[in-house]
Amino acid sequence: SQQGEEDPQALSIQEGENATMNCSYKTSINNLQWYRQNSGRGLVHLILIRSNEREKHSGRLRVTLDTSKKSSSLLITASRAADTASYFCATAVTGGGNKLTFGTGTQLKVEL
Amino acid sequence: GAVVSQHPSWVICKSGTSVKIECRSLDFQATTMFWYRQFPKQSLMLMATSNEGSKATYEQGVEKDKFLINHASLTLSTLTVTSAHPEDSSFYICSARDAERETGDTQYFGPGTRLTVL
């Protein structure tokens, strides 16, 4: 079963706008990771946030983690057409031996 | 750094044949590799964890005799889909974990292999 549920399932915005995606999970985690997947391609690792961290930044990306609510958000600021892709959160469950469980994904479309 | 390759990138085969997919870590050693499958417009589902020098650990519901995994070296894991059927058609993706890096929890993904069984 899916550990992570993401919303929205699909998001369409204009270039320059910010995009926010949310991920909820069910069990205790060691870390949560966000990945991007372009259509028909492999996954690109974006950012990892550990369970003892609350916020992390990488370029135009900002990730937050609220372990009390078992949720995370990914914010992409000043979006570009090249950001069009599917975004997945993945959780490394405590005691799970580094296995990742992926969320359902958000399809982001950034229009010119 | 941290590049993972897969071969082939796509394969079409007849029902009943076996198909081998290779996953290689090109610039690091991977004691652990993971195999996932992904159906169109869906998320990745973990199939098995491949450990170098030992038997793979399969997720519940994944037939180990159907999906043979071999991790013979620190840079290569193979997935063989035996007696493939149309329902095995999917996108297969591997990932590798570089335990020596500071970011040892990060998994690096291959580009995927699209399998179509006729």
Point out the residue among B46, B106, B111 whose CB comes nearest to the CB of A41: B111
The pLDDT-based confidence of A5 (bands split at 50, 70, 90) is confident
Tens digits of residue pLDDT in B11-48: 999 999 999 999 999 988 888 899 999 988 889 999 99
The pLDDT of residue B31: 82
Residue of A1, A34, A100 best to disrupt the B interface, most CBs of B under 10 A:
A100
Q: Count chain A–chain B contacts defined by CB atoms under 8 A.
A: 57
Of A48, A92, A104, the CB nearest to B43: A104
Check residue B104 and report its DSSP letter.
T
CB A54 within 8 A of CB A100: no
Interchain pair B44, A41: CB under 8 A:
no
More reliable by pLDDT, B29 or B89: B89
For the CA atoms of chain B, what is the radius of gyration?
14
Q: Inter-chain contact A99–B106, Cβ cutoff 8 Å? A: no
Closest-CA distance of chain A to residue B17, Å = 24
- pLDDT of B53: 82
Distance (Å, whole) CA B43 – CA A22: 15
Let me know: does A100 contact A90? Beta carbons within 8 Å: yes
pLDDT digits (tens, 9 = 90+) for B41-75: 889 999 999 888 888 999 999 999 999 999 888 89
How does the average pLDDT of chain A come out, rounded? 92
Q: Tell me the percentage of chain A whose pLDDT exceeds 70.
A: 96
CA–CA separation, A57 and A13 (whole Å) = 21
- Whether B44 has its CB under 8 Å from any CB of chain A: the answer is yes
Position A1 scores a pLDDT of 39
In whole angstroms, what is the distance from residue B33 CA to residue A100 CA?
Answer: 12
Give how far B93 is from chain A: nearest CA, Å: 7
**How many angstroms separate the CA atoms of A60 and A65, rounded?**
17
Please tell me if residue B97 touches chain A, with a CB cutoff of 8 Å: yes
Question: Structure tokens of B98?
Answer: 């570089």
In this model, does residue A76 exceed pLDDT 50?
yes
The residue among A102, A58, A107 whose CA lies nearest residue A83 is: A107
- Does the pLDDT at position B103 exceed 60? no
Tell me how far apart the terminal alpha carbons of chain A are, to the nearest angstrom.
37
On whether the CB atoms of residues B51 and B71 are closer than 8 A, the answer is yes
Residue B101 has pLDDT above 70, yes or no: no
User: Of A66, A64, A67, which is closest to residue A75 (Cα–Cα)?
Assistant: A64
Residue type, B61: G
Is there a contact between B109 and A45 if contact means CB atoms under 8 Å apart?
yes
Neighbours of A50 (CB within 10 A): 14
Which residues, in sequence order, are bridge partners of residue B116?
Answer: B12
A41 CB near a chain B CB, below 8 Å? yes
For A31, the closest of B93, B105, B109 (CB atoms) is: B105
- Asked which of A51-60, B96-105, B106-115 is least confident by mean pLDDT, the reply is B96-105
Contact A88, B44 (CB under 8 A): yes
Chain B hits for A92, Cβ within 8 Å? 105
Buried b (16+ CB within 10 A) or exposed e, A57-88: eeeebbbbbeeeebbbbbebeebeeebbbbbb
- Whether the CB of B106 is below 8 Å from some CB of chain A: the reply is yes
pLDDT higher than threshold 90 for residue B102: no
Residue A52 has pLDDT above 70, yes or no: yes
